[in-house]
Amino acid sequence: MRHLTTARRRATAVVAAGLLLAGALIGLRPPAAAALDNGVARTPPMGWNSWNSFGCNINETLIRQTADAIVASGMRDAGYQYVVVDDCWFNPNRDSAGNLQGDPGRFPSGMRALGDYLHGKGLKFGLYQVPVDKTCAQYFGGYPGATGSQGHEAQDARQFAAWGVDFLKYDWCSPNGTIDQQVATFAKMRDALAATGRPIVYSINPNSIHAKTGPQRNWGDVANMWRTTEDITNAWDTGQTNGYPMGIQNIINVTVPLAGYARPGGFNDPDMMEVGRGGMTDTEMRSHFAMWAVLAAPLIAGNDVRNMNAATQGILTNRALIAINQDSLGLQATQVSFDGTRRVLAKRLADGDVAVALFNQGGASTTISTTAAAVGKSGTSFTLLDAWTNATTTTTGAISATVPAHGTVVYRVSGGGTGTPPPTTGGTLVSAASGRCLDVPQSNTTNGTQPVIWDCTGGANQRWTRNADGTVRSGQSGLCLDVNGAATANGTTVILWTCTGAANQRWTVR
């Protein structure tokens, strides 16, 4: 985060107000983008990727053994389909016609044969490539060649289709390029894949060693899934707000406010999972998986599935959480409440149930509570199914659990009817134009305080809750956003004021 003076921060208040009014609380629901309608990824893709555990140390024997283990462990039958071969699969040189080739030492049988093997196991074939000249390994690791798809988009797409590829991970591993240039470049491969006639899941990462563009744009018109942050690492919290690398909790903080982007065919991607790689406690790994599940994130395992223990296997194949993740509505859970430690998220499901996550981001056990009404249910009798234990309890409306440090309890709430839906989102309010957040700069948030646009840090002064009456309340002060003045012309200032519920404090999501 850049450190600027308070005076300069306050000077941005007018900009904040203009952006807020123009966007009608765009952080609550981002402007709609035309969806990529290629018929795939109607629910979040599930699979495995080689990079987290093996990096460049890959070959066809490893990939085939992994496929065998995915089948034998029950992961395939639980929904894991895509086996994605990441960086370093290629011959550093294209052939005389400019075609990509598999590395003959690592993949002597060829890429088509590998795809055939995976398909024969009831799995699907994924490959890594980049839209620039060099892959990440070539850019950073001294791996030979420059085999990116830049200038070869249509040719490479045809090659992928000929090999039977079902999933393309396309990684912008370059500090160059504006968002507009990224959009145009990613769209080239989108269109090239469509022209092949083969259904291929298109997964993009606009964030590698680049300005953090993911939270600044809804990429649903370009791809089926898009990374929301820099690379994940095998740790709970690295302290990175949106930098390299990022821990589980850091990624969740960035991804929660982006709920409005998710829908069938297009999902926020908080990166491949670290479950089973040993860098966290079992409680933290369960939270990792549970939060990816309720956030409608692609469930792409990154562990060595050939040697996973029973705890890891149990987490990755948890049927109750996978069912929540794979629900046909394709909704990402929205934030109901967050006090800086206790976070409540709710995900509406196709059968009328609601999945509720009680997430403890603190360092000590605590009780987290909400109600059926707060998560969008009506009535007086409900059943709670614990997604971890499969135990059921009944309630007249209270939803509560004692949650260990860094733990997550997930209930599937059934019964009753559909009441007022949970807020479209909560937490930070993010500008779709800039990726920056509404921030209350003063420590004494009195009436008349003006919010500003600032880097998203997830601090208490950037957390907001949309109330049932349409008012938007500051998580720090409890004050509401209020239009200052009866004549709400362009440039009208937004201020914080006591929550009265008046018309000038009510906001509609469009």
pLDDT at 102 over 80: yes
Q: Does pLDDT of 18 surpass 50?
A: no
Q: Which of 29-33, 96-100, 166-170, 194-198 has the lowest mean pLDDT?
A: 29-33
- pTM listed for this prediction: 0.82
Task: Give pLDDT tens digits for 234-281.
Answer: 999 998 887 889 999 999 999 998 888 899 999 999 999 999 999 999
Share of the chain above pLDDT 90, in %: 68
Confidence of residue 35 (pLDDT cuts 50, 70, 90): low
What was the pLDDT predicted at 84?
98
CA-nearest of 188, 178, 333, 317 to 259 is 333
Q: Is the pLDDT of residue 478 over 80?
A: no
Q: Return the domain boundaries, the chain.
A: 6-28+426-505, 46-325, 334-418
Q: What pLDDT does residue 446 have?
A: 72
pLDDT at position 223 over 70: yes
pLDDT at 487 over 70: no
Supply the pLDDT for residue 36. 83
- Given a cut of 50, whether residue 397 has pLDDT beyond it is yes
Helix (H, G, I), strand (E, B) or coil at 152: coil
Q: Which of the four pLDDT bands, split at 50, 70 and 90, describes residue 445?
A: low
pLDDT at 65: 98
Q: What are 245-257's pLDDT values in tens digits?
A: 999 999 999 999 8
328-364 pLDDT per residue, tens: 999 999 999 988 899 999 999 999 999 999 999 999 9
94: Cβ contacts below 8 Å, ≥ 6 apart: 100, 101, 147, 152
Residue 221 is classified by DSSP as G
- Give the confidence band of 208 by pLDDT, cuts at 50, 70, 90: confident
Q: Is the pLDDT of residue 506 over 90?
A: no
Give the mean model confidence (pLDDT) for residues 142-153: 96
Task: Report percent pLDDT > 70 for the chain.
Answer: 86
For residue 27, is pLDDT > 70? no
Q: What is the pLDDT of residues 303-322, one digit of tens each?
A: 999 999 999 999 999 999 99
Residue whose pair of structure tokens reads 């981002």 in the numeric block:
30
Q: Quick check: 68 pLDDT over 80?
A: yes
**For residue 421, cis peptide bond before it (omega within 30 degrees of 0):** no
Point out the residues that are catalytic: 171, 231
Confidence label for 426 from pLDDT (cuts 50, 70 and 90): low
Q: Residue 500's pLDDT is what?
A: 82
Helices 248-255/282-294 angle, 10° precision = 20
Range 86-104 average pLDDT: 97
Q: What is the pLDDT of residue 49?
A: 98
Stretch among 227-241, 422-436, 438-452 having the lowest mean pLDDT: 422-436
Give the CATH fold of the 46-325 domain: TIM Barrel (3.20.20)
The pLDDT value given to residue 458: 65
Interval 479-494 mean pLDDT: 72
| Distance in angstroms (rounded) separating the CA atoms of residues 504 and 50 | 53
The secondary structure element, H or E, covering residue 344 is: strand 342-348
Is the alpha carbon torsion for 103, 104, 109, 110 positive or negative?
positive
Task: Tell me the three state secondary structure of residue 73.
Answer: coil
Percentage helix, strand, coil, to 5, in the chain? Answer: 25, 20, 50
* C-alpha distances out from residue 396 to 217, 389, 413, 496, Å: 41, 21, 11, 36
Q: Which residue has the higher pLDDT, 421 or 67?
A: 67
Choose which CATH entry (2.80.10.50, 3.40.50.1470, 1.10.10.10, 2.10.109.10) describes domain 6-28+426-505.
Answer: 2.80.10.50
What is the torsional sign of CA 311, 42, 234, 367?
Answer: negative
pLDDT for 491 equals 62
Strand partners, 360: 342
Give the lowest-confidence range in 15-29, 64-78, 260-274, 370-384. Answer: 15-29
Highest mean pLDDT among 21-25, 89-93, 239-243, 434-438: 89-93
Which residue shows structure tokens 């599940």? Answer: 293
Three-class secondary structure assignment of 451-500:
CEEECCCCCHHHCEEECCCCEEEECCCCCEEEECCCCCCCCCCEEEECCC
C-alpha distances (whole Å) from 240 to each of 97, 102, 270 are 44, 36, 14
- Fold classification of 334-418 is Immunoglobulin-like (2.60.40)
